[in-house]
Structure 1
Amino acid sequence: MMSFTPAPEFTTRPTLTGRFGMSASTHWLATASAQSVLEQGGNAFDAVVAGAFVLHVVEPHLNGPGGDMVGIFATAGGAPTVLMGQGPAPAGASAAAYRELGLELVPGAGALAAAIPGAVDAWLLLLRDHGTWELPEVLQFAIGYARHGHPVLDRVTATIEKMREHFEDHWPSSAALWGSYDGTMPELAGTYERLAASSGSSRVKRIDAARMQWSEGFVAQAIDDFVRVPHRHSDGHDYAGVLTARDLAGFSASFESPVTIDFRGHTIAKSAAWGQGPALLQMLAILDGFGDIDPSTPLGAHTILEVEKLALADRDAWFGDTGDVPLETLLSGTYVSGRRLLVGDRASRELRPGSIAGRTPFRPPLTTGTSGMGEPTVSRQGVTRGDTCHIDVIDRWGNIVSATPSGGWLQSSPAIPGLGFCLGTRLQMTWLQDGAPATLTPGRRPRTTLTPTLVLREGRAVTALGSPGGDQQDTWQLLYLLRTIVGGYTPQQAIDAPAYHTTSFPDSFWPRQWEPGGAVVEDRLGATVIDSLESRGHVVTRAGDWALGRLSAVGTDDRGMLWSAANARGNQGYAAGR
């Protein structure tokens, strides 16, 4: 096997180490809140839930209570478990019903794109079953920031400014909520205070009472009342939403078993194929048969980009909430070996899903365009694209959790009066063509891009990591795993190292475009590698020196020392611990 490019001695900040507990996230206030919980005796699950609700307040352009989340965790000495907070399509959301409205795609903004909100119920389930704190204690951080204010990110105010005209013309409830935004969110604070005040004879019953208030009480009723009003969607037309209180009452978050593969002495655990997680597993399995998989060499970068295309093509062809995804075949040695043979010397500009005996792969409609780079983009016409948050925590007892919350961005759909948040848009990841594994179907989860990762060694969870970035989440995590597991980089070195990803696949976000042969790279990758990629036929977009990925990670080493690391891009993500 070829040796890796040496890791740079310089890093933007150190990999933190200690024995008490570690937190890392995409916003310093969420990290600090989670770490505060650990300092006060809470465990990793208390801490991650506290930090997650803070993310709703401090990154409202990237996530909100009306969105969704996927987590993966292990209790001390326990097996990896997926926390499923991805709500399915409402009863009234079907491909046929949307086609009758004249739609060819699920809109990227507006209540027709809303799945049943799953994030809040998932966080409360995790707190109930694995945390130790009462709900008011956990929510105090988010309530405090929402009630009294917090330092506002420039990106939040920029998003509001870009949406201001749209809000005023089409979404008056959002204009009222964000028109004079000063860092406080009193309506959201009130919503959380009402949930925190839920009563019961035990801690479990009090948390379940809050879950009931969400799914069947004042939250569900306010959502039901509001979405009946037609409002502007991203295609320029007005529609009423189809989500109902009955839909919310019928959903519960859950715990699931992960999908895993072994790679170079480690076990990588992801959610099942209702998410995109197994695509990362396939990338690793294909790459395991190549000699040069160093992300920093010309051949290694080319090989990685080509493998990403193959795995993401299989994702779109086969993944979905159908119960019939041929995942065992897609990750099998025979299938993976065949896919490996498709990697040539030139960049492919085709969408090449694999064939499985007796089954025809779904081929999504292809519209050429420029795919996004993971960060939110907003136009003055209300065409919106959001991003995501991430948080990781490990405590002194060995509990470890990685979670990626998203959706319900302030630019997703009109704000719901009295609640202080809006609905998510995850249904835009479904198709309106019949016969696809991700066809819009009532009761089925959209194939989400949310995809945190847990790494195990000899059966023990040693790393939790993830990143915002839509479709690119797993491509950036892939680089981290290669550099740490194979290349010997420290966590912070791997996070800081130059990133890149393919855009040669249909974007999961409306309007579902793709760029054949596209590759987005950070300039720090270097002229030698970038020129080589272009000479091989990659359509390269230079993103700047520090532009791609917002990874964070926590873990433990062979000595039992805890560590954490976070991304410096955007001057926003931080790690903490001792």
Structure 2
Amino acid sequence: MTSFTTRPEILGTFGVVTSTHWIASSVGMAMLERGGNAFDAAVAAGLVLQVVEPHLNGPAGDLPAILWSAQAQRADVICAQGPAPAGATIAHYRAQGLRHVPGDGLMATVIPGAWDGWMLMLRDYGRLPLRDVLEPAIHYCSAGHPCLPRVADTLAGLADFFRDNWPSSYDAWLPGGKAPVAGQLLRNPALARTYTRILSEAESFKSRDAQIEAARDALYRGFVAEEMDTWLARQELPDSEGNMQRSVLNAADMAGYRAQIEAPVWGSHRDWDIAKCGPWTQGPVLLQSLALLRGMDLHALDPHGAEFIHLVTEAMKLAYTDREVYLADPNFTDVPLQDLLSEEYNTARRALIGTQASLDLNPGTVSGFEGQRSAMLAALERLSSTDGAVYEPTMAHLARKRGDTVHLDVIDAEGNMVAATPSGGWLQSAPTIPSLGFCLNSRAQMFWLEEGLPGSLAPGKRPRTTLSPSFAMQNGQPRMVFGTPGGDQQDQWQLIFFLYHAEFGMGVQKALDAPLFHSTHFPASFYPRSRSPGQIMVEDTFGPQVIADLRARDHDVQTAPPMSIGRLTAAAKDADGLLRAGASPRLMQAYAVGR
């Protein structure tokens, strides 16, 4: 296979920023130029991503982030994944005639987390004032930004639904009844007014910390929460399945929310240590996949050959199947992480990987969790299989009108690092609140409306999210931050990228350009949680011989065009301090900058 890169790897010593949109990357770099650190840059870029990729994230969405503080010499996780509101009970949803939490609409929401997470990052880790990091988002809301082709296509496809069902979204996103044209300036004046008022109220306080706290309060305990509560109380609107919904979220839920700082979960590969968010995300599956692969000589394989694809796919299938049984909010469910990542457990699981693709759904058995395993398998068997699994909607070969995710990575000259994967609150998820310029998230769809399962809906519980940023150390030194949009594929694509880089020595950009694959063998995280036994999707860049070899191993191979899977970005720091950054060329939108 011919080796190439689509663009130069960004090199420098001052700082690097990479994200899924070139404008956000440039805004992040501007914060570094202004004297801010990586955390200031991440906040500013993250707020701009809500504006320029409104079909993939928004202010009322979710935010997991992994940070490396050069001063503290510590990795932290910011959990800004909001929990279920107090009124979100299984009994209430069942009383509405629902068998599953809808994928969109007013009952699909959990408490918004993203805004509080960004403000927490800014207060505790950054140093720039609130105005500096918020003004770029206000500018692009007011002056406009070039509408992405995917945004234009999404809005055109939703025009009739918005007009007939969510009139506030129709007025906000299709003013005058016309969808925006790709490349045309797209504005969000209502969100500009919301942010401007938040900033104005915050600046009535003198100190930086007091201003940031006031900005948090404005959204969760101030005018934003009040307006949200008033508007939602008057609404009864359908979701895309035709179910009439009234929101379970109210001002009291908002007032009680605070994002949290947590310790990451760690795994290893050779001389690398990798940090992921906790089991309220799917992040531990990447660590378990590495543990399963630990007994294999991957380095002797062709990284673009069938044997490598087969072994990595079979390991991911085992880890993701365990995800379904064991990973959930540890505040509500015992999660046997130590067992799932142990050498003993994964040695036994590794023995299941043979020369042919497995077609079985076979989660491992952890002592003391036998009943939970049986209950989850029974629940999965009851699911409908009438719909396909949910993939990343931004991929060119897929035609879903679902929202997805964005990602950013930052490293500054001091060695601070950030990987963040914001999502939710996208324009497709719920009706736009007209006076605020944004809508609620739909993360509650991850819950089950069955009692007794790890992911059963309960007030105050975090849904197990697919959002999953990564941080890696080599020989005890901080080296790399990376991540991608893509739902269930996030930790699959990240695992492949990491192995390309750490096992085969590919540079950051070369590893991002290399062909990707993923499995849809295990149940999807999104309703109807369907699975396609033995199926993998591969970019046909791998070539006909590799694809034929995979099919001979019983893999159900689906092919995708070259450069059409994944939107990875990554930033790295060499031992001598040289900084590197890259971005996937897929969709021609992600970009890395630095100097």
What is the TM-score when the length of structure 2 is the normalising length? 0.93
Partner of 1:270: 276
Other-structure match for 2:294: 288
Q: Verify the 8 A CA contact 1:234 1:384 in the aligned structure 2.
A: no
Partner of 1:446: 463
Aligned equivalents of 1:144, 1:481: Cα separation in 2: 36
Tell me if the contact between 1:213 and 1:219 (Cα under 8 Å) persists in the aligned partners: yes
Residue 53 of structure 2 corresponds to which residue in structure 1? 59
1:47 paired to 2:7: no
Shift of the alpha carbon at 1:558? 1.3
How much has 1:21 moved relative to structure 2? 0.3
- Aligned with 1:427 (options 444, 464, 470): 444
Q: Distance in 2 between the 1:168 and 1:153 partners?
A: 22
User: Residues 383, 476 of structure 1: CA spacing in aligned structure 2 closer, same or farther, 3 A cutoff?
Assistant: closer
Q: Which of 308, 327, 330 is the equivalent residue of 1:322?
A: 330
Shift of the alpha carbon at 1:93? Answer: 0.7
State the partner residue of 2:69: 75
Q: Deviations over 1:186-229 (max 9, x none)?
A: 00111111121213231001100110011011111122222231
User: How far off its partner does 1:71 sit?
Assistant: 0.3
CA distance in 2, matches of 1:377, 1:248: 34
2:504 alignment partner in structure 1 = 487
* Aligned-residue offset at 1:14: 1.4
Q: How does 1:4-403 map to 2 (within 5 A)?
A: 9-76=3-70, 78-180=73-175, 181=180, 182-197=185-200, 198=202, 199-228=204-233, 229-292=235-298, 295-323=303-331, 324-360=334-370, 361=373, 362-363=376-377, 364-365=379-380, 366-368=383-385, 369-376=387-394, 384-403=401-420
C-alpha distance in structure 1 between counterparts of 2:528 and 2:32, whole Å: 42
The answer (yes or no) to whether the contact 1:54–1:141 under 8 Å persists in 2 is yes
Q: Structure 1 pair 535/174, CA: closer, same or farther in 2 (3 Å)?
A: same
CA offset at residue 295 of structure 1?
4.1
- Counterpart-to-counterpart distance in 2, 1:186 and 1:23: 27
1:80 is paired with a residue of what secondary structure? strand
Q: Letter of the aligned partner of 1:72 in structure 2?
A: I
Distance in 2 (alpha carbons) for counterparts of 1:330 and 1:479: 20
1:276 Cα deviation from its structure 2 partner: 0.6
Tell me if the contact between 1:80 and 1:461 (Cα under 8 Å) persists in the aligned partners.
no
Structure 1 stretch displaced more, 491-500 or 383-392: 383-392
Distance in 1 (alpha carbons) for counterparts of 2:47 and 2:38:
14
Report the Cα offset of residue 393 of structure 1: 0.6
Report the 3-state secondary structure (helix = DSSP H, G, I; strand = E; otherwise coil) of the residue aligned with 1:409: coil
Give the drift of 1:492. 0.6
Structure 1 window deviating more from structure 2 (180-189 vs 55-64): it is 180-189
One-letter code aligned to 1:421: F
Deviation for aligned residue 1:291:
2.3
Would the aligned equivalents of 2:150 and 2:394 in 1 still touch at CA under 8 Å? Answer: no
AA of the residue aligned to 2:37: N
> What SS does the aligned partner of 2:421 have?
strand
| Residue pair 1:22, 1:575 contacting (<8 A) in 2 also | yes
SS of corresponding position for 2:254: helix
Three-state SS of the structure 2 residue aligned to 1:513 is coil
- C-alpha distance in 2 between matches for 1:468 and 1:406: 9
Structure 1 partner of 2:428? 411
> What stretches of structure 2 of length at least 5 have no aligned partner?
none
CA distance in 1, matches of 2:302, 2:225: 49
Query: Does the aligned pair in 1 maintain the 2:142–2:192 contact within 8 Å?
Result: yes
TM-aligned CA deviation for residue 384 of structure 1: 4.5
Deviation at 1:559, TM superposition (A): 1.2
* Contact 1:294 1:301 (8 Å CA) reproduced: no
Distance 1:338 1:295 in 2: 25
Separation in 2, partners of 1:307, 1:71: 26
Provide the secondary structure at the position in 2 that maps to 1:17: strand
Q: Offset at 1:95? A: 1.9
Of 557, 562, 567 in structure 2, the residue corresponding to residue 540 of structure 1 is 557
Unaligned runs of 5+ residues in structure 1 are none
Cα pair 1:109 1:383 within 8 Å, conserved: no
Please report how far the alpha carbon of residue 343 of structure 1 lies from its aligned counterpart in structure 2 after TM superposition: 1.0
How far the C-alpha of 1:358 sits from its partner, in A, is: 2.5
Counterpart-to-counterpart distance in 2, 1:475 and 1:147:
38
Residues 241-282 of structure 1, C-alpha deviation per residue, up to 9 Å, x if partnerless? 101111111110111000001211010000110111001100
Cα distance in structure 1, aligned partners of 2:297 and 2:451:
41
**Number of equivalenced pairs:** 569
Alpha-carbon shift at residue 144 of structure 1 (Å): 0.5
Q: CA deviation at 1:531?
A: 1.1
